[in-house]
Structure formats: structure tokens, C-alpha cells
Amino acid sequence: MRKGLLEFCILSIISEGEIYPGDIIKKLKAAELIVKEGTIYPLLSRLKNAELLAYSWKESTQGPPRKYYQITSQGKEFLHGLISTWEELQHAVNQSTKNLTNNE
């Protein structure tokens, strides 16, 4: 489940615009999702192989060229499906736990 949520969060971040993996990690940490680089890179590669992401190389002022990721049209469709699934899951959890919050 965590892997699926991480995929959802990464696609959401990349859907905002072209981004460098280090910046993805910063955004995830800012959202208090603790992630290691060893987790992100294989996931980015898998999403790219699934044609949900693409990348381009850009020159860097701080060293070698960097790989920047962007979401593909297929990735956007997939993300919309994830959003729908998330909303359904969120509703189901809220319905299942509403007695907990009403009894407090």
C-alpha cells in the first residue's frame, strides 16, 4: 500500500511541472514522507518504463547534466485514475471510522 501511495505522491508532484529527483525528495520530506534516494530512483525508472513519465537531460551549473522528469499524457490519465481511487478509499475509511470520531 505504501508503494502505491508513494507512486501517487510522486506522480502528483511531477504533474506540477518538470522536476529533478532531488527536488522530488525535498518535497516528499517537506510533506513528512520519509523517503530514501534508493527508493525513489527505481520507482522513477519503473514509471518511465511504463510510459507514465519521460525525462530530458539539462545542463547544470553545479556539475554534470541532470535528468529532469515530466509526466506524459498516459501518466496524467493514470494519475486521474489514482485520484478517483484515493477519493473512494478516503470516503470508505471516513465511513468506517465515523463512529470513532462521533464518540469522542
Predicted pLDDT of residue 75: 98
> How many domains does the chain fold into?
1
The pLDDT of 15-23, averaged and rounded, is 96
Taking 3-state DSSP, the helix, strand and coil percentages for the chain, each rounded to the nearest 5, stand at 65, 15, 20
CATH number at residue 12: 1.10.10.10
Element (H, E) at 67: strand 63-71
The CA distance from 47 to 87, in Å, is: 22
Average pLDDT along the chain: 91
Q: Roughly what angle, to the nearest 10 degrees, separates helices 21-30 and 37-49?
A: 120
Q: Is residue 15 included in any domain, yes or no?
A: yes
Q: Is residue 52 included in any domain, yes or no?
A: yes
With cut-offs at 50, 70 and 90, classify the pLDDT of residue 17.
Answer: very high
Query: Do residues 7 and 43 lie in contact, with contact meaning Cβ atoms separated by under 8 Å?
Result: yes
Tens digit of each residue's pLDDT (9 = 90 or more) over 22-68: 999 999 999 998 788 888 999 999 999 999 999 999 998 889 999 99
φ, ψ at 73 (rounded to 5°): -65, -35
Domain holding 51, by residue range, is 2-79
The three cell numbers of residue 20 are 529533478
